[in-house]
Structure 1
Amino acid sequence: MALDRGLIDWVAEALAADGSVTHRRMMGGATLYLDGIIFAIVGGDGSLWFKSDAESDAAYDAADCARFTHERGDGTVASMNYRRAPEDCYDDGEALRNWALLGVAAGRRARVKRKKKNV
């Protein structure tokens, strides 16, 4: 499936006052960053997923936003700390901005994984 560049542009427009949105292609979709902070995934199917954590989960639960899951090679299902964007994000720029900023906040709180140095 093709990457939904229109959705990426929509997110960038909604967050223009907050910083610069960039993206990197990933497995048919893209990861989205606001000034270098990862905050969302755009799926190859045009779905939008915001980064979440223990602090933001209650808001996503209240809006009935599903967790991001994927099937591993061994057939087990794994989840990641991303939640599906509420439907109003696709046509309401202010709602999109509010939810995206929850994802940005979770991205800022996330522990950065550092590569181990070979000694």
Structure 2
Amino acid sequence: MHNDDGFLELLRELLEPLGTITVRRMFGGHGVYCDGVFIAIVVAGALYLKVDELTQPAFVAAGCEPFVYANKGKAIAMSYWNVPEAALDSADSMRPWAQRAIAAALRKPTVKTSRRRR
């Protein structure tokens, strides 16, 4: 766990080589965007990157774990996984993990809600 303000600044520095990084408050944590693409969440001072069925095996192999929250007494695992501690050492160390998150986010279909006519 990290101090949020200092940690968010570190994340900006680590991710900046990949694009324009923006951070927005959400649900008691923060959302991280790269060039407008939602790639990560920061909760309780920990970074969780977006994964999908193609990128998850790399996270599993590195010993990473999914972000899990409780809802009505059930544990709900999300498609955001923490990164190896070494990934926080440098932009070069973070790059492959962040690139996986960007790829997963870009593969995820955009869900559009349609307004019903009355």
TM-score (norm. length: structure 1) = 0.88
- Give distance in 2, aligned partners of 1:118 and 1:109: 28
> Where do 5+ consecutive residues of structure 2 fail to align?
none
Partner of residue 5, structure 1 = 5
- Give distance in 2, aligned partners of 1:12 and 1:101: 14
Partner of residue 38, structure 2 = 38
Question: What's the C-alpha RMSD, in Å, of the aligned pairs?
Answer: 1.7
Deviating more after overlay: 14-23 vs 26-35 = 14-23
Partner of residue 21, structure 1 = 21
Q: Secondary structure at the match of 1:16?
A: helix
Q: Does 1:98 align with 2:96?
A: yes
Contact 1:49-1:83 at 8 Å conserved across structures: yes
Which one has a larger percent helix, Structure 1 or Structure 2? 2
Q: Secondary structure at the match of 2:40?
A: strand
- Give distance in 2, aligned partners of 1:13 and 1:35: 15
- Give distance in 1, aligned partners of 2:87 and 2:69: 23
> Where do 5+ consecutive residues of structure 1 fail to align?
none
Identity %: 33
* Distance apart, 1:6 and its partner CA: 2.1
Number of residue pairs matched by the alignment: 116
